[in-house]
A and B are shown apart, each in its own frame.
Chain A
């Protein structure tokens, strides 16, 4: 396999709030290879969107990327070094804000946001917005940018694209706006597109059409995608590999088939049990007990142990990183669970179990929403 185009190592993004430090992303590693669609899955508040924004260095105040590495085609987007005082500071080689703006954003990595209603500027025409971004990132003139825009709108399935260039965003439906945003991303010809829950706000039929279209276009243009979602159904449909995130950390990382059919982490198991699946018939779906704890004060040890049906005492103490637990050498299948004793070498099976069994998803750890930093 070739080198990945994007490598994320131990990424840490924290939010410094009045109530304390929210560790929205706390040591996340993954990679994206050329021409693949990589999913990042997790519940709300898992840190998926923050991880995505960190790659673009677009985390807003009071959030800050405080550690780890992100390298894109060998260029250091995020890179830290230790100072003599023991603190971390960005290295000199790390791309400057200007370099990020001029060389990476839009040109190499484009993004599609969740809410198509909020992502387009209401006071400018759709064509004007497309043209501006194309001009910036493709170094073309106005008329050529216009042609590219028309062509790309046609590609994503907008009827009469030339006429619609002069329309304002409010004259488009939600699904059409999301197509515009996909066209926007593709028309800048980036190597990587980060799609941050792009179909979550759409109804299911529109979602289906758009996913199909994206899969086709991805094949045609050979663009890599990071597909952020909370929906494993979407993952099954579109992704090649998946990263399951829980509370700012990786739970499991595997190829799609392996994740669905050879699940190695209890959290992924729980997620899958909470969904209807075409390949299984069950009496009733099982929601995951409890609510995800807040990232401001995460549980000790394995972060999932408070809700995990397989949790044992040792899980309170040891926070496992995601390690390769695959039995074949084919493709790595990483899981962060002490159950895999041969890999983690902790005494999991001899440790006494923790009783987490509850009937209702609301009985355990119910807290007020918010503060999770996944906005």
Chain B
């Protein structure tokens, strides 16, 4: 089948991309002034201690040697050990991946579920008050930084109203017995939802705003197509036209944007995790940069790189699902 071959080809093409990511990140990280060992050992360590740690992490080797070793390690699935934590990078990432994926996917869900109806209504009632309102919302959404929204949420809902918790995200899959004040699975889910709502909206607002605008213009474009006019000429009701004849065609640009917005979502996660004290990948990457924890910087970057590359491939594949004109049989 064409689609499998296409997927495999795209994955193979991702290899040089990832190699580029590794190379650039490696040399950038090592260009940061300072020394991770000193950060780890504090103000006045002994010379022997320093030498031991440098030897343990291979920091005594020349840069090119370390680069080659690192790339060879990655090819074997070995991302090394964190200098700061002393643990395997893969283990550390596995531990932190859950909250970030939860945050990112819930933000996407929030953005899609609000943006698509808003955009459609906006297009349908073009230049009417509903349209103006929805355009204002998206304009404000696009131009407001996510961390500021997060801080305002905390100020209003956690500090003043005290209705939503601002820290200690509870994961929905957490064991009820390990969490105080939660007896059943349902309690855990409710707690998790209450924790998640503010970070989710903070992170998702930008996506929501951007998607609303795309959805609106895309719907407007499709609604002016001749096949929509034809459906109208054959007595199809306006709501069926909107729901059936126009909707599906209008979603292609949305999918493109969803794929590309992954980058801003990842960037936003770094900020939002810091604001809401979520122990996810975002905080991990920031702290690893502060501590010059080379293996951890590299590892987290590679994982984000893979997430993005896979996201883009999934985007491309989903075109074929929506638009029958797109086939992957003979791509060159």
Contact = CB atoms under 8 A, between A and B. Distances in A.
Interface of A: 56, 58, 60, 101-102, 104-107, 110-111, 113, 115, 118-123, 132-133, 136-137, 168, 170, 181, 184, 188
Contact of A111 (B230, B236, B248): B230
B245 to A, nearest CB: 6
29 contacts: A56-B233, A60-B229, A101-B237, A104-B235, A105-B233, A105-B234, A105-B235, A106-B234, A106-B235, A110-B234, A111-B230, A111-B233, A113-B230, A118-B226, A119-B230, A120-B227, A121-B227, A121-B249, A122-B323, A123-B249, A123-B322, A123-B323, A133-B234, A133-B235, A136-B234, A136-B235, A137-B234, A168-B324, A184-B234
Given A121-B249, A123-B248, A123-B323, A58 B229 contact: yes
B185 interface: no
B51 to A, nearest CB: 66
B57 to A, nearest CB: 55
Interface in B207-235: 224-227, 229-235
B325 interface: yes
Interface residue SS majority, chain B: helix
A123 B325 CA distance: 8
A203 B224 CA distance: 26
Contacts of A168: 324-325
A122 B235 contact: no
A115 B230 CA distance: 11
Contact of B236 (A118, A132, A184): A132
A122 B249 contact: yes
A215 B35 CA distance: 87
Can you list the 3 inter-chain pairs with the closest CB atoms, starting with the nearest? A106-B234, A118-B226, A106-B235
Contacts of A111: 230, 233
Contact of B324 (A106, A113, A123): A123
B174 to A, nearest CB: 42
B233 A110 contact: yes
A111 B226 CA distance: 12
B60 to A, nearest CB: 61
A170 B324 contact: yes
B238 to A, nearest CB: 9
A106 B231 CA distance: 9
Contacts of A121: 227, 231, 245, 249
Contacts of B229: 58, 60, 113
A119 B235 contact: no
B79 to A, nearest CB: 43
Nearest to B229: A58
Interface residues of B, number: 20
A60 B224 CA distance: 9
A188 B324 CA distance: 27
Contacts of A113: 226, 229-230
Contacts of A123: 248-249, 322-324
A115 B226 CA distance: 8
Nearest to A188: B234
A58 B232 contact: yes
A118 B225 contact: yes
Nearest to A120: B227
Nearest to A56: B233
A161 to B, nearest CB: 19
Nearest to B226: A118
Nearest to B233: A111
B233 A58 contact: yes
A122 to B, nearest CB: 6
A98 to B, nearest CB: 9
Contacts of B234: 105-106, 110, 133, 136-137, 184, 188
Nearest to B248: A123
A107 B323 CA distance: 30
Contacts of B236: 132-133, 136
A122 B232 contact: no
Contacts of B323: 122-123
Contact of B233 (A106, A120, A170): A106
Nearest to B322: A123
Given A101-B235, A170-B325, 20 more contacts: A58-B229, A58-B232, A104-B235, A105-B233, A105-B234, A105-B235, A107-B235, A111-B233, A113-B226, A115-B226, A118-B226, A119-B227, A119-B230, A121-B227, A121-B245, A123-B323, A133-B236, A136-B234, A168-B324, A188-B234
Nearest to A105: B235
Interface in B266-321: none
B227 A118 contact: yes
Contacts of A132: 236
Contacts of A188: 234
A120 B227 CA distance: 5
Interface string B161-184: 000000000000000000000000
B49 to A, nearest CB: 66
Tell which of A102, A118, A123, A181 has the most Cβ of chain B within 10 Å.
Answer: A123
A188 to B, nearest CB: 7
A95 B48 CA distance: 96
Nearest to A118: B226
Contacts of A120: 227, 230
